[in-house]
Structure 1
Amino acid sequence: MATTIERSELTGDYLLDTAHTRIGFIARHAMATRVRGKFAEFEGSAHLDGEEPSKSSAQLTIQARSIDTRNRQRDDLLGRKFLSVDDHPIITFTMTEVEQFTSTNIIVTGDLTIRGVTRAVTVDFEPTGVDRDKQRILRVCFTGSVTINRKDWGVHWKAATGMVSPKVTLEFDVAAIRQY
């Protein structure tokens, strides 16, 4: 049951609801087909400040080895050759700024670290739901994406030159539960 919630009521600490969150990606393969994948293991937290969004913060940690494209051979190759999971087992995102906070979008900038390389990215999130369940627990949901050039993070493999597009779209379908 959807309820009307004031922005000020959003203020608080949240944990990602991993059962209802998807961290995914899309990349072109052989410049013709799209490969869709996700990461199965991750955790994250946020502090939202509905009155002063600039005081909000968020962190996401992804286990790089949990990459899943529904093809085990490809997953192993992506993990070993592209992501170098033995040397760089985690991918992180740390929010550094909220540029806009409206009922229709939230523009978040943060540091994305892949393979030990950190670069700033800006993700345009759309709030998709705010609700209290039967136990009065507040859940907030957002969806967003950003297209990056994987080579900026050193994500490449010589044997795949020309086979995998350098542009990768990262997708975030996030559900977070307020902690009391």
Structure 2
Amino acid sequence: MTTAKFQIDPSHSSANFSIKHMMIAKVHGGFEKISGTLSLDSSDITKSVIEASIETASINTREAQRDAHLKSADFFDVEKYPAITFKSTKVERSGDEELKVTGDLSIHGVTKEVVLEVEGPSAEHTDPWGNTKIAISAKTKIKRKDFGLNWNAALEAGGVLVGDDVAISLDIQFAKQK
């Protein structure tokens, strides 16, 4: 077994989402503070494990009033639930360079199993400072109400202000631990 330990490089990683607004257009946002580890078993990738944490107060949708509302008890309630966490429970190949990573996603005090469609991991590369790096891209969709994020407002013309389906995309770079 050849297991290498990696740490998420937060300055070269992103955790983003999109959700329908007024049932017509997608609003995009992300979280600026992400951390975590990867135990990568190169001899049997299915034995690899990833754990990640996202600071909910680091949400950024490029609109200060919306961000303040998302941080409030109506949505993420960042004082009570300061982190979104993910811990893998199963890794399986789904193609030559694709994986399905199943794990427990915890948001707003609710934990549900999700499956991430992952591209990678990339080959190892050495940066100009001698650090060994790899990267993955991942995506999934969740229903926000499954995680207790229920706030909404009815629209006068019918429908609701905030959609339920959330598309999540991750671009994560890892630094090998020495």
Same fold (TM over 0.5): yes
Please list every run of 5 or more consecutive structure 1 residues that lacks an aligned counterpart in the other structure. Answer: 1-7
Distance of 1:28 and 1:112 partners within structure 2: 21
Aligned to 2:135: 141
The answer on whether the counterparts of 2:152 and 2:162 sit within 8 Å (CA) in structure 1 is: no
Tell me how many residue pairs correspond in the alignment.
Answer: 172
**Contact 1:56–1:98 (8 Å) recurs in 2:** yes
Q: Which has the higher helix share?
A: 1
* Equivalent position SS for 2:171: strand
1:102 offset after TM fit, Å? 5.0
Gapped regions of structure 2 (runs ≥ 5): none
> Offset of 1:165 from its aligned partner?
0.7
SS at match of 1:83: coil
Kept in 1, the 8 Å contact 2:17–2:28? The answer is yes
* Cα deviation digits, residues 137-178 of structure 1 (max 9, x gap): 321111111011011001121436711110001110010011
Query: What letter corresponds to residue 29 of structure 1 in structure 2?
Result: H
Q: Which structure 2 residues correspond to residues 64-143 of structure 1 after superposition, within 5 A?
A: 64-80=56-72, 81-100=74-93, 103-127=96-120, 129-130=122-123, 131-143=125-137
Q: Which residue of 2 aligns with 1:61?
A: 53
What's the CA shift for 1:56? 1.1
TM-score by length of 1: 0.89
What is the root-mean-square deviation of aligned Cα atoms in Å?
1.8
Q: Which residue of 2 aligns with 1:170?
A: 168
Name the aligned partner's letter for residue 24 of structure 2.
A
How far did 1:127 drift? 1.7
* Match of residue 43 from structure 2: 51
Structure 1 counterpart of 2:26, which letter?
R
